[in-house]
Amino acid sequence: MATATATAAKRQPTRTKVHQGQDARPPSLIQKFSTFTRTAAGLEKTLRLINATCQIAGGLSGDVVTASRWGVARGQLALTRRYFRFFNVIDCFARVADLLPGGNGRASEAGSVMALLELARWTCLGMYLLLEDATILHATNIYPVSWNARVTTEAYRFWFCGLALSVLGCVWGVLLGIITSPSSSTSPSSNKASSNGSSSEKKAGKERGPVAQVPRSVLVKRIVVDGCDLLIPGAFLGWIRVGELGVGVAMLVSTLVAGRDLWMSITST
């Protein structure tokens, strides 16, 4: 009798552990979405997705009043998203400082075409954000200025140049990777790239140069994302003939491609 009682007592913790293991269920899609939107990057991507949807809806709408309402929603969402990137100018110019000769980054080796393209890219993006930040008071109707249109146009030119240089740099990196290191391997951690591939760029510049350290899949994704985003300033400046619907679709594609990696990195932790 005592032996049977002791055996049952030993089995009880095991049953408790089994029940505890059964209760530990993976988070649902709603819980993952809540976790995703609680981060600044995740919330900005969600707002960008809604922004693109409003742009597409406005382009498909045949009613002037309905299209105007979608335009107002799109403008308010775009203004909200500007607050999230207001201080990104600091990061851009910090990257420029690292890429300059004597900087902290190894990618600043003399004669590197990739380093020169990255230096020009981050300089253009930094100037874009700086000029955009200069017009934030006008956009919020706090302090309207007469030079807002000129500064906005120059900002979009820098944005277009920065995205074009990004696409050119990625194409160069893919071609150089095919020629110099067709069988180069990379660590799995380098696949966790952000919407602009910044986490992979931080791993660039080791012994074999920045190209060999970045997976081709990351470069191809950046070509797709930046290539689609290139239509936004291009259409605004009149350099690319595309309608509002085309810009909305391109914005939707770039958001989904860039947001997927961000979703995986946030919800997997």
More confident residue, 18 or 94: 94
Instruction: Please enumerate in sequence order all residues whose Cβ is within 8 A of that of 35, keeping only pairs 6 or more positions apart, or say none.
Output: 27, 42, 266, 267
35/269 Cα distance (integer angstroms):
10
How many Cβ atoms are within 10 Å of 15's Cβ, its own excluded?
A: 9
Handedness of CA 91, 93, 97, 98 (dihedral sign): positive
More confident residue, 175 or 5: 175
What is each CA distance from 244 to 41, 74, 115, 167, in whole angstroms?
A: 25, 12, 35, 22
57/67 Cα distance (integer angstroms):
8
The per-residue pLDDT for 250 is 97
The per-residue pLDDT for 197 is 41
On the question of pLDDT at 135 being above 90, the answer is: yes
Q: At what angle do helices 148-180 and 113-134 cross, to 10 degrees?
A: 160
pTM of the predicted protein model: 0.78
64/91 Cα distance (integer angstroms):
41
On the question of pLDDT at 132 being above 90, the answer is: yes
Average pLDDT score over the chain: 81
Find the range with the poorest average confidence among 4-13, 117-126, 133-142. Answer: 4-13
pLDDT in tens, 146-187: 999 999 999 999 999 999 999 999 999 888 875 443 333 333
219 and 173 in contact (C-beta within 8 Å)?
Answer: yes
The per-residue pLDDT for 26 is 86
- pLDDT (average), residues 92-116: 75
**pLDDT interval class at 192 (50, 70, 90):** very low
Domain range summary for the chain, segments of one domain joined by +: 87-229
What are the strands, taking DSSP E only, across 48-176? none
